[in-house]
Amino acid sequence: MAKLKCHVIIVAYPAQGHINPLLQFAKRLASKGLKATLATTPYTINSIQASPAVGIEPISDGFDEGGFNQASSVEAYLESFKTTGSRTLTELILKFNATGFPISCIVYDSLLTWVLDVATRLRVYSALFLTNSASVCSMYWHFDKGVLDFPVKKETLPVSFPGLPPLGFFDLPSFLAFPTNHSAYLDAVFDGFHCLDETDWVFCNSFEDLEIELVKAMNGLWPVVMVGPMVPSAYLDQQIDGDTAYGASLWETETDQCLKWLDTKPSQSVIYVSFGSMANISAKQVEEMAWGLKASNRPFLWVIKESENKLPVDFLDSVGEIGLVVSWCNQLEVLTHQAIRCFVSHCGWNSTLEALSVGVPMVCVTQWSDQPTNAKFVEDVWKVGVRGKKDEEGIITREELEKCLKEVMGGERNREIKTNAYKWRDAAKKAVSMGGSSDTNINQFVSKLLIGKE
């Protein structure tokens, strides 16, 4: 095994759904004997717990006091990060090079493709890290190659991609279905695919068995290497020292309160509800969720930021002890509590992988980005949950939620869904354990790094 011969710097976009998997990748590399440093912005860095295994260093996005919220637009933010980030990352690497810990490789988030130029200038290896599923990334890849018309025309549906099931309009990532709404993010995503030939590795936070049809269909067409799931090893029955949590939380958590409350509930009885860190759920959708949860007549734990502005008046009083609402928690600690029965999720890729990795069935209430496609897979490919159908205003009504909850927690499909959830949990563990596909892929990367760049 490597003896700290190589130093890898991992550059993360400063959002919860990006820091979590990249910090986790840093820990995995450290567990293989490499020196690993995570670089992200000063505004988020204090939210990351120091660990003996991974160093944390700041690089600037140009908004050191307030981060993304200080920028006038997504475009302005990404442009500022590119300019200031290139300079400060270069300085950081030169500092390491001068102090006896030279950098061998830069791993970079797929939203930060300018890092490739820094790596090329400094003549170090580079590795792109995809934070979406390989299936979603392959769709972007096909659109970028011009293989399919963009934007998608409704009359050409369903869309067929190699290795994927036929996809209807509302199964597509919102960036492809409604491109004008998110053009800056879409440009950043496409930029990632312009780098594929120039970068030394392309990693994806997924595992081969999970997307096996896609892996087979794309074999030889693109260079993606599966290394996930990037979930703390303790949840995958592994023992990497101290790796019991992601170690980053951009908000104060109320986990202890959640766990105490869950302790009072029967085994496999509680619905856990969370929409991740970025989705902005409409007040109407919150209201429908609230009354749907109440009508389900089962205990629920709901993570909702800004709940006071959106929850219906008197809702909390009306549910009493049956419901707990918090603004943030350690999701994996909650998901793995024995009282949890099902996860109502927006289907962000990390949340989806976490549910799959710990075997919790899902009800999908999607919002944007890759979430509709992840939900399609949850229902039709992995068969570990059901999707809420939206009405003509794009809302999942209380009746629809109640119906989905019944199906997952007690309906005809409940047994099949539960069996599949356990099957994928076991497959995830296998992928990262010694000799598993993701573990082998990471070992090959480490071995190549040790040989060094010409």
Of 338, 329, 375, the C-alpha closest to 356 is 375
Shortest reach from residue 275's CB to ligand UDX, in Å: 7
In this complex, which beta carbon is closest to ligand UDX, that of residue 84 or of residue 336?
336
Shortest reach from residue 332's CB to ligand UDX, in Å: 6
Q: Confirm whether 109 is a catalytic residue.
A: yes
Cα separations (Å) of 223 from 111, 197, 292?
18, 8, 44
Of 53, 86, 47, 50, the C-alpha closest to 67 is 47
Q: What is the DSSP string of 54-113?
A: EEEEE---S-TTTGGGGSSSHHHHHHHHHHHHHHHHHHHHHHHHHTT--EEEEEEETT-T
Using Cβ positions, the residue closest to ligand UDX within the complex turns out to be 348
Shortest reach from residue 444's CB to ligand UDX, in Å: 25
List beta partners, residue 204. Answer: 130, 226
In this complex, which beta carbon is closest to ligand UDX, that of residue 96 or of residue 302?
302
Q: What is the DSSP string of 20-49?
A: HHHHHHHHHHHHTT-EEEEEE-HHHHTTB-
Strands (E), 239-307: 270-274, 300-303
Of 439, 257, 424, the C-alpha closest to 337 is 257
Q: Angle formed by the axes of helices 414-432 and 437-451, to 10°?
A: 20
d(CA 444, CA 448): 6
In this complex, which beta carbon is closest to ligand UDX, that of residue 96 or of residue 141?
141
Are 430 and 207 in contact, with CB atoms under 8 Å apart? no
In this complex, which beta carbon is closest to ligand UDX, that of residue 276 or of residue 323?
276
Cα separations (Å) of 126 from 41, 192, 399?
20, 13, 49
Of 214, 238, 165, the C-alpha closest to 428 is 238
In this complex, which beta carbon is closest to ligand UDX, that of residue 44 or of residue 351?
351
Give contact residues for ligand UDX (rule: CB under 6 A): 15-18, 20, 131-132, 274, 276-279, 303, 328-332, 348-351, 354, 369-371
Q: Which of 18, 142, 182, 337 is catalytic?
A: 18
Please state the separation of Cα 187 from the chain's center in Å.
19
User: Which structure tokens are listed for 80?
Assistant: 């500022």
In this complex, which beta carbon is closest to ligand UDX, that of residue 280 or of residue 447?
280
Shortest reach from residue 406's CB to ligand UDX, in Å: 25
In this complex, which beta carbon is closest to ligand UDX, that of residue 93 or of residue 173?
173
Cis preceding linkage at 151, omega within 30: yes
d(CA 50, CA 73): 31
- Tokens 């939206």 appear where? 390
In this complex, which beta carbon is closest to ligand UDX, that of residue 18 or of residue 383?
18
Q: Which of 109, 171, 191, 243 is catalytic?
A: 109
Q: Confirm whether 18 is a catalytic residue.
A: yes
List active site positions. Answer: 18, 109
